[in-house]
A and B are shown apart, each in its own frame.
Chain A
Amino acid sequence: MFSLEKLVSIIQAWLQSTLGDPWAFIVVCILVGLAAITLFAILGLMLVYMERKVAAHMQIRLGPNRVGPMGIFQTTADTLKLVMKEGLTPDGADKFLFNLAPFMVMIAAMLILAPIAFAKNFQIWDISIGVLYVAAVSSVAVIGILMAGWSSNNKYSLIGAMRSAAQIVSYELSAGLSILAIVILSGSLRISDIINSQADGWWIIKGHIPVIIAFIIFIIAVTAETNRAPFDLAEAESELTAGFHTEYSGMKFALFFLAEYINIFIGCAIGATIFLGGWMPFHIGNWEAFNHIMDFIPSSLWFIGKTVFLIFLIMWFRWTFPRLRVDQLLNLEWKYLLPISMVNLLVITLMAIMGWYL
């Protein structure tokens, strides 16, 4: 059976035997970096294509269907167009911050890729504080957005950036608390431990209603953190034209655009990892035959499938709901989601102490 784990270990063993200790490590680092960047680009292109097809399906139209079969090269063509465009810097802008901002957002998105387990034992860095690392690094992106809004010297950008900052900082609490719920249940911050704790059943199944509540709150928080409709106030094109990236053009705009999709992917990947078992196949109690068939599906497919399902959910939200107003958005977080997730966390702690899960 094909497995990414085997492939990686073969490459690593070969490098080790040919290059020796320090050089093999350096080459592995470079390869991982290149792989991450490639993944980044491919993910961006795929997700944009998926978004356009999903949107088209919901809006009774066809979507891209001209460039390549079924229009799959449409996003590539769009990216090429953006690369060739001139990246304007407005006269009144703070040039250093203006040009730095898209890279900040991009790098923050890239760093979170590290602890994500794409398949069984296929992880860039299985850090012991994995979940905490994700929560911490994901908040760096807001600095990039604030920088973009402030340095553009555009009032729409500034309003968009301020909205975005308020929004991301608030919703991080709910996202963090719902992740914490699973950390309490599994007893570890390490991503691989969290996945292994779900070998006999995903948390969303064996955690009963409190975990389902935590999952729903997590999905809402991820939608808000990635500035997606119905929480796309930072971009709110009917109010702020394009929000914080109004002044950006060419590849600098594309970086923001791609970072948004990468952030969706990462948010959904984390959701899939901690609530839906990551690469863990779906198992039902003692059904040996069924479990065996499920095991036969490669672990990478399980992970990708779950993540894409969550991404589809978030896209579905976007093409269905109107946008919230800024005060309603903050009310929702501080008056509803945060108290609910705090009480929920208490219930889950009680559950963990009493052992009330399967």
Chain B
Amino acid sequence: MIEELGTNDQGDMIINVGPQHPSTHGVLHLVITLHGETVKKVEPHLGYIHRSIEKMSESLSYRQFSYVTSRMDYLSSHINNHACALTVEKGLQIEIPGRAQYIRVILDELTRIASHQLWWGALAMDLGAFTPFFYSFREREMINEIMEETCGARLTMNYIVPGGVMFDIHPDFQKKVKHFLKEFKSKIHEYNELVTGNVIFQNRTKGVGYISKENAISYGMTGPSGRGSGFICDVRKLHPYEMYNQLQFDEITEEGGDAFARYMVRIREMEQSMNIIEQLIDNIPEGDFLAKTKAVLKLPKGDYYTRVETARGEFGVYIISEGGTTPYRIKYRSPGFSNLSALNDMSVGGKLGDLMATMGTLDLVIPDIDR
């Protein structure tokens, strides 16, 4: 373990990155063995923000338990709520109104764009450029305003409930979303000019944090991080939920397996998400936004599993029900945990600066790893 003097018997330096550190974006603690500037070993230590959400959910009703999932991956809280609602609906076999489905998918994709925007700014900051952070927040603010108007919250939405969505959309919703799409199309070009095309940025990310497709699969890397290694794992395509099977969009994969490939996957995914929203925004059907459900939900005895594609990868909800009003056991499969497990493999042999680039492109959200 960590020696007193901070060096091991080979004379390597052992440094603690975190739990409070600018580039871990939360309370992640990495124990890094450094040989000069070269990383020899990375050991993530978890548990600093463990809130036992899974255990807590066992005493919450089927309407309540999804509220805590907003606090897991707070950047795609909407999609987490979605997964919980889908699981309950699966158990109760509730038909969801078409209007609710459209709203859910549009907001899912908006959440994905917002999450990728924040990641883009944070990655640039990890690599030492401060300005992109402000640019990304400028556009993210537009999404946050839409969310605030629709859900009443900017970060922890809690908008999706079993049976549909909690309220109807705001009358300005379509207008604002279209305005955002129009604005963001030109801004994404600006993003590419400012960061993607930059020689220093490309040097910092190309060939850095490489992981092969086989390793990515065996570590269970999903989402943009897995797709950066060519692993076809988009749940929206493979196991379509809601109405993703009726939509025209591409699953973005890159073959590079390095930080730049993962970066490009996310940039191109933002464009695909805009594409999806464009298909839906004008066709939101009239009708109910919430199906009629019983006051107290009771899932029939059995176990239920649903997975969705969050901004970080595959998010799974596994519920075992004994037929009561609360779940007997809940297990979440969070994408960040599996993605983090590959960090050691990806960064050994690289420089200390490469570790930050690798961590940045894994897009870690610590409360998602430590539930």
Q: Please list the residues of chain A having a beta carbon within 8 angstroms of any beta carbon in chain B.
A: 55, 58-61, 155-156, 159, 163, 229-230, 232-233, 236-239, 241, 319-328
- Complex Cα spacing A55 to B125, Å: 14
Please determine whether A320 and B129 come into contact, CB atoms closer than 8 angstroms: yes
Cβ-closest chain A residue relative to B351 = A325
Let me know if B21 is at the binding interface, CB within 8 A: yes
**Residues of chain B at interface, number, CB under 8 A:** 33
Let me know if B167 is at the binding interface, CB within 8 A: no
18 additional contacts (CB under 8 A) given A229-B129, A241-B22, A324-B204: A55-B130, A59-B133, A61-B134, A156-B15, A159-B13, A159-B15, A159-B37, A159-B352, A163-B37, A233-B353, A238-B126, A239-B356, A320-B129, A321-B198, A321-B200, A322-B195, A325-B354, A327-B351
> Which residues of B from 127 to 183 have beta carbons under 8 Å from A?
127-131, 133-135, 138
Cβ-closest chain A residue relative to B203 = A328
User: What number of A-B contacts does a CB cutoff of 8 Å give?
Assistant: 85
Residues of B within 8 A of A236 (CB): 128, 353
> Which residues of B from 219 to 244 have beta carbons under 8 Å from A?
none
Please determine whether A58 and B131 come into contact, CB atoms closer than 8 angstroms: yes
13 residue pairs bridging A and B, Cβ less than 8 Å apart: A60-B138, A155-B13, A159-B15, A229-B129, A230-B200, A236-B128, A237-B22, A319-B130, A321-B200, A322-B129, A325-B351, A328-B200, A328-B204
- Complex Cα spacing A59 to B131, Å: 5
Supposing A60-B138, A155-B15 touch, asked if A323 and B22 sit within 8 A by C-beta, the answer is no
CB distance from B16 to the nearest CB of A (A): 9
Let me know if B188 is at the binding interface, CB within 8 A: no
- Complex Cα spacing A230 to B194, Å: 14
Residues of B within 8 A of A55 (CB): 130
Let me know if B300 is at the binding interface, CB within 8 A: no
Let me know if B6 is at the binding interface, CB within 8 A: yes
- Complex Cα spacing A326 to B135, Å: 27
Let me know if B23 is at the binding interface, CB within 8 A: yes
Select one of A60, A61, A241, A321 contacting B129, CB under 8 A.
A321
Q: Please list the residues of chain B having a beta carbon within 8 angstroms of any beta carbon in chain A.
A: 6, 13, 15, 21-23, 34, 37, 124-131, 133-135, 138, 194-195, 198, 200-201, 203-204, 351-356
Cβ-closest chain A residue relative to B360 = A238
Residues of A within 8 A of B6 (CB): 155
CB distance from B356 to the nearest CB of A (A): 5
Please determine whether A232 and B128 come into contact, CB atoms closer than 8 angstroms: yes
Select one of B21, B126, B203 contacting A325, CB under 8 A.
B203
Select one of B34, B127, B198 contacting A238, CB under 8 A.
B127
Select one of A60, A239, A319 contacting B352, CB under 8 A.
A239
CB distance from B157 to the nearest CB of A (A): 27
Residues of B within 8 A of A163 (CB): 37
Cβ-closest chain A residue relative to B133 = A59
Please determine whether B23 and A322 come into contact, CB atoms closer than 8 angstroms: no
Residues of A within 8 A of B135 (CB): 59-60
Residues of A within 8 A of B194 (CB): 320
Residues of A within 8 A of B354 (CB): 325
Cβ-closest chain A residue relative to B38 = A327
Residues of A within 8 A of B13 (CB): 155, 159
Please determine whether A322 and B15 come into contact, CB atoms closer than 8 angstroms: no
- Complex Cα spacing A319 to B128, Å: 9
Please determine whether B203 and A238 come into contact, CB atoms closer than 8 angstroms: no
CB distance from B87 to the nearest CB of A (A): 38
CB distance from B178 to the nearest CB of A (A): 23
Cβ-closest chain B residue relative to A323 = B128
Please determine whether A322 and B128 come into contact, CB atoms closer than 8 angstroms: yes
Closest 6 CB pairs of A and B: A323-B128, A322-B127, A238-B23, A59-B134, A322-B129, A325-B353
CB distance from B307 to the nearest CB of A (A): 33
In this complex, the member of B125, B134, B194, B195 whose beta carbon has the largest number of chain A beta carbons within 10 angstroms is: B134
Please determine whether A59 and B21 come into contact, CB atoms closer than 8 angstroms: no
Please determine whether A324 and B22 come into contact, CB atoms closer than 8 angstroms: no
Cβ-closest chain B residue relative to A327 = B351
Residues of A within 8 A of B37 (CB): 159, 163, 326-327
CB distance from A158 to the nearest CB of B (A): 8
Residues of B within 8 A of A58 (CB): 131
- Complex Cα spacing A233 to B200, Å: 14
Please determine whether B130 and A325 come into contact, CB atoms closer than 8 angstroms: no
